[in-house]
Amino acid sequence: MAKASPSEPVLTLDGIRKSFGSKEILCGVDLSIHRGQIKVLIGPSGAGKSTLLQCINFLVVPDGGRISLEGQPVDPSDRKALCRYRQQVGMIFQDFNLFDHLTALGNVEIGLVRVKKMKRSMARERALAELERVGLARHAHQYPAELSGGQKQRVSIARALALDPKVMLLDEPTSALDPELIGEVHAVIRELGAAGMTMIMATHQIGFARALAQEIIFMENGVIIEQGPPDQILDDAQCQRTREFCAKITELGGHG
């Protein structure tokens, strides 16, 4: 596989389109992200943020457009290649989607054992290290139903990290959480960023986005309206719609 040069984006989207029925949800989205960058997607409900993120790892298959990882276009009709690609693109869901029948450790381990075909003893060691990293080593043997929302989300981050992803996609990772649990998940994401993880995250937590992101992307009705550094987009947007949205969401107490 070609090694990406520093100037080449890790991930590139070209003209991603998606319709559900006759309704166009994504109308040709272009986006690229370099190693270690963090980009945050904002936009009103129904803008297509979740659909876009799920298109990136083909959980929703785009109707048109192209996605490349390190310059290699991904062909979703090649199932083997698709599975290999997905291992390299970690996904964090709003409602965690932990495997309910497995312990925290089992959740992190299963990808290593079943997908990476790692020996169980090695997988266990690696999984424990990832749980340690998100501060949950002590909860390794608990089932999802025994964990708080914040803990579940941290397990799901460990599950993704175990596969050494090149990019992480996070779809509103804290919006299903009680306010007092948001901080612990934000802390883990912040550390990931500091460790150089490349991330694309949808969130309504404007304060967090401002502190973390190199770039904020404002999306509405399936198109990217505006993108740029946080201060520019949040305080000084070119487009009227962006300004309105940012004003509203900041007012709603987005200083998270």
Partner 1 sequence: MNTPLGVLQQSLPYLLQGVWVTLVVVLGSLSLGLLVGLPLAVGQVYGPKPLKRLIGIYVWFFRGIPLLVLLFLFYFGLFPFLHLDLSAFVVAIIVLGSISSAYQSQILRGAILSIPEGQMKAARAIGMSDVQAIRHIILPQAFRLAVPGWSNEYSVLLKDSAVTYALGVAELMARAHHVASRTYQHLVLYLCAGFIFMILTFLGTRALDALHRRVKLRGYS
Ligand X SMILES: Nc1ncnc2c1ncn2[C@@H]1O[C@H](COP(=O)(O)OP(=O)(O)OP(=O)(O)O)[C@@H](O)[C@H]1O
Spatial distance between the Cα atoms of 137 and 17, rounded to a whole number of angstroms: 41
Verify binding: residue 75, ligand X, rule CB under 6 A.
no
Give the shortest CB-49-to-Mg ion separation in angstroms. Answer: 5
Q: Give 237's DSSP letter.
A: -
**Binding string to ligand X for residues 114 to 153, with x set by CB under 6 A, is what?**
----------------------------------------
Q: How many CB atoms lie within 10 A of CB 31?
A: 21
218 closest CA partner among 251, 245, 256: 245
- Give the chain's largest Cα–Cα span: 56
Judged by CB, which is closer to ligand X: 43, or 106? 43
Contact 112, 123 (CB under 8 A): yes
Pick the piece of the chain touching partner 1 (CB under 8 A) from 28-36, 110-118, 194-202, 242-250: 110-118
- Contact code string over 14-53 relative to ligand X, x by CB under 6 A: ------x----x-----------------x-xxxxxxx--
Which residue stretch of 41-49, 93-101, 209-217, 219-227 sits at the interface with partner 1 (rule: CB under 8 A)?
A: 93-101
* Number of H-type helices and E-type strands within the chain: 9, 10
81 touches 57 (CB < 8 A)? no
Closest approach of Cβ 52 to partner 1, in Å? 15
* Alpha carbon of residue 12 to chain centroid: 15
Q: Is 129 helix (H, G, I), strand (E, B) or coil?
A: helix
Q: How far is the CB of 13 from Mg ion (least distance, A)?
A: 17
CA dist 251 and 157 (Å) reads 30
Part of the chain binding partner 1 (CB under 8 A), chosen from 136-144, 183-191, 210-218, 219-227: 136-144
Looking at this protein, which amino acid is placed at residue 175? S
- According to the binding rule CB under 8 A, does residue 148 interact with partner 1? no
Of the candidates 12, 32, 142, 221, which one interacts with partner 1 according to CB under 8 A?
142
Q: Give the strand pairing for 198-202 and 38-42.
A: parallel
User: Which residues of this protein are in contact with partner 1, per CB under 8 A?
Assistant: 54, 57, 59, 79, 83-87, 89-91, 93, 95, 97-101, 110-111, 114-115, 142-146, 156, 159-160, 163
